[in-house]
Amino acid sequence: MLSLKGKTAVITGGGSGIGASMVARFAQQGAQVAILEVDLDKAQHFVAEIADPSLKINCYQVNVTDQSAVRQVMEEVIVNHQSIDILINNAGVSQIGSLDQTSEQDFDRVFGVNVKGVYNCLFSVIEHMKKRKQGVILNMASVAASVGIPDRFAYSATKGAIRSMTYSVAKDYLSYNIRCNCISPARVHTPFVDEYLKTNYPGREEEIYQQLATSQPIGRMGTPEEIANLALYLCSDEAAFITGTDYPIDGGFIKLNT
């Protein structure tokens, strides 16, 4: 069950957090995994920490906002691995602020990575998947695409775009046997959360962490491993009948907190 043996998975932003958990989980299930990271050292350090030579993980440096660079690295992955069976668009950045607190520079930065970056990766693999008449695409959205979250104006807009892009790709490429879904996590305990607390609430990290954790009806934040497990299922052959769907994984946040 849920074997990915013989498949190649490309995971953007796979050097830490949720992306790193997906890299480890997919490799454990037999996939060849290509990490695409803007910070190559971070990706390589993560792979070294795993310290399991039986896992097939390679690292590639790329800025997802640069389409020509993305196309080049995708071609390199295809040459090295013979195919790209799975694409996970996980790379993303956050932006804290309401509309009046969001500068044009901030807006362009978060859209450049979260929306254009996803488009660049989709654009760079779709012809390959069409020729093979198969492929699985998983995009990382957010509960912020479904409900209003304070001080997340630009970020929420990008995640809404990702959800809409998911539906569009799923519809347009049904005849090519290409499936496309997205995952919408609520708060997940990652290094980003710890850094956010340290930067914005020095000396109150534990207090604010508990406030954020208990805002989920289930009473805690999610873990990167829990997100990776859902991603694994949606990218496996066991989920072959699932496409064009957004999957909240949110501890009840959307339905029980509104």
pTM of this structure: 0.95
Active site residue 155: yes
Contact in structure between 224 and 188 (CB atoms under 8 Å)? yes
**pLDDT at residue 1 tops 90:** no
Classified as helix, coil or strand, 12 is strand
The one catalytic residue in 155, 167, 233, 247 is 155
Residue 182's nearest CA partner among 191, 173, 170 is 170
Q: Which domains does the chain have, with CATH numbers?
A: 8-186+223-251 (3.40.50.720), 187-221 (no CATH)
3-class DSSP state for residue 114?
helix
Mean pLDDT of 83-102: 96
194-251 confidence digits (pLDDT tens): 988 998 899 999 999 999 999 899 999 999 999 999 999 999 999 999 999 999 999 9
- Rg of the chain in Å (alpha carbons): 18
Helix (H) or strand (E) run with residue 139 in it: strand 135-140
Mean pLDDT, the chain, rounded, equals 96
